[in-house]
Structures are given as C-alpha cells and as structure tokens.
Structure 1
C-alpha cells in the first residue's frame, strides 16, 4: 500500500470555499454551511483506503465529541470513480450509513476542491479556527494500519482542544500518511 504524506500547506491559509453534494444527505454544502462557531474540520477521505478504514471509528468519535463544542465537520471524497468505482457516490452513502457517519460526506467530482486545499492523501485533515484560518494540517495520531500503535486521535484532538479552548497550537505538526488521492 502506497504511503503518501500531506502537503502541509501554510498555516494561516484561508479555508477555500466549496459547494458540493452530500452523498448521505440530500443537499449541497458550502464551507459556510458546515462551519462551526469555534472552528471547522475538513477531512479528505474515501471508502476503500486502508488508512481511512484503520481510523474511521476514531474520526466518527471525534465528530461526535466536538460538534457539540462548536466544531463544524465535513468529509470529502475526491477520488476518480471511473478507475475506483468503490468510491462512487452511492457507495459513499452506503459507507456513511455503515460507519454511522452523520456529518456531511461530500463528493468532489471535478477534484477542484481537493486541488484548492492541496489535499494529497486519505485521510488528510485540515482544521480551521473561527476566522477560517488554517491552524492544523497533519496526522490523526501515530497509528498506522501495520504499526501496532493504538488509534487515539491524540494529535488532532489536541489541536481541536486548542481551538475550542483558545490555546496556542504547536506549529510543528506531523503530516498525515495515507493512500494518495486518485487523480483523474
């Protein structure tokens, strides 16, 4: 399995907007619509990546833990569905149901949103503050599918806690590692 790291775009980058259909809800979402009072988490992921499958339970727990604290959460799949039909919108809806994902899971058919975020892998995490400025981009934690480190979500949870409680976030952040986005 290929291991692709995050591109680690500059902290302070303004959140790119989007207008994408949700596969698990019958509506479109913009950044403004998913935005939380305290901050927003944009996750690039897909259905079949072993790195995503390894951490999906923790992603769902993080969403459940932090939405009530003012963090807006959205997941986006930008994979090419011609060559990777398992990531098609109908399969995304099934995956969301199976995994109990009750935040919007959006489909980026043109891949323009992934390019705007400079997303590179799945999962790829982008945390923005209440001013829509990037404060964290990096890994969920040190766990990987084959390294026997338990999934904790510690790196991302620490960053979200800092946003929620208005604390400084360490700018020394480790990139996420995952499958590359399947570009057309």
Structure 2
C-alpha cells in the first residue's frame, strides 16, 4: 500500500458530473440528482485503508449533523478490486451498513470519476457550494491512525463557514491516505500508472 498526499482541486472549479451505481440501493445515480443547493461533499473512500477506517465514525457523526441542515454527502470508491478484493461493491455495501453511512457509497469501476476529480488518496475530500463550485479540498483533519482520534476539524470549519454565509478559508491542506489503486494503463496527467 502506497501513501500519498492529495493534489487538491483548484478552488472555484465546477464539480464534474457522474453517473455511478450505489452499492447499497443498487440504483444508478448522478451528481445532478444528489447535489444540494447549499453544499455537496464528495468523498473518495475505500474499505481497506486505515486512514478511512480512522475517520469513519467521526465522518458518520458529521454527516448526520449536517445533512439534516440541507447538505449532501456522497462517498465514492475507485479502487481496482483485482488488487484489493475487499473493496468490491459487495463488501462496500456491507461496510456502508456496518458503519451506518447516512449517504450513498458509489462504485467508480472505470476510475473515470476519480480522474475527473483529480482524486489521489483514500480519503480525498471535495466540498462544493450550491453552484457546484469547489470551495474546499483536502484533509478531513490533521489526525493520523494510531496517533490521536479523528475530529473532522477541517471539514467542520469549512461547512460551518458555508452555513454562516462566510467565505471558506483558502488555507487548506492536502489529505493523506493510501493511494487510489489504479488499474494498469489508467492514464493520469499523461503518465501511465503501473502499480
């Protein structure tokens, strides 16, 4: 497993649309169907990563706090399941149910969505305003597995600013986690990834 820092989306960039299956409901959904008029949080996660496991309970708590206020959370896994069978959609659905995810957990089989978003790590976070323009990208918080408990501080701060009608601070930090497990030949920034 390789650990990477996220490259971070340019602030103001429009959220790329997508059409992906939800591993829990079995329905195919789009960003335009799921998005919020207040804020939409798109998270790239996977089952096996210790960084994702570290934030899971706090992420669920945070989503349960902000979704009733009109925000939308959407989780996506883009990992190559040949490399990590535990990230298979069947196990994604089990993970979502076990953790009581209050948001859809979508499977990006062809990794197009991860490429469109410039996602690199699990977890990798993107927050979009009501116009689907990026206002926050990067880490959940500064914690690391086995060091201190997850707080969600960075994401909390961004979402609170949106709720208060304030500008989200541009002082943002990259997320760190396990690299998205790219399929052989997937091209990223014109470089073939052979892992």
Instruction: Give the secondary-structure state (helix, strand or coil) at the position aligned to 2:69.
Output: coil
The match for 1:179 is 178
Instruction: Give the secondary-structure state (helix, strand or coil) at the position aligned to 2:119.
Output: coil
Distance 1:26 1:132 in 2: 25
Distance 1:51 1:154 in 2: 15
The match for 1:11 is 11
Contact kept? 1:42, 1:74, Cα under 8 Å: yes
The match for 1:143 is 143
Structure 1 runs of 4+ off > 6 angstroms? none
In structure 2, the gaps of 5 or more residues are 184-195
The match for 1:155 is 154
Distance 2:25 2:59 in 1: 18
Shifted more, 8-17 versus 26-35: the winner is: 26-35
Shift of 1:33: 1.4
Distance 1:138 1:125 in 2: 5
Contact kept? 1:23, 1:105, Cα under 8 Å: yes
**TM-superposition CA deviations, 1:27-53 (whole Å, max 9, x none):** 111111111121100000000000000
The match for 2:80 is 80
Contact kept? 1:70, 1:164, Cα under 8 Å: no
Instruction: Give the secondary-structure state (helix, strand or coil) at the position aligned to 2:80.
Output: coil
Matches within 5 A, 1:31-70: 31-70=31-70
Shift of 1:127: 0.1
Distance 1:43 1:111 in 2: 14
Shift of 1:25: 1.2
TM-score by length of 2: 0.91
RMSD: 1.0
Shift of 1:3: 2.3
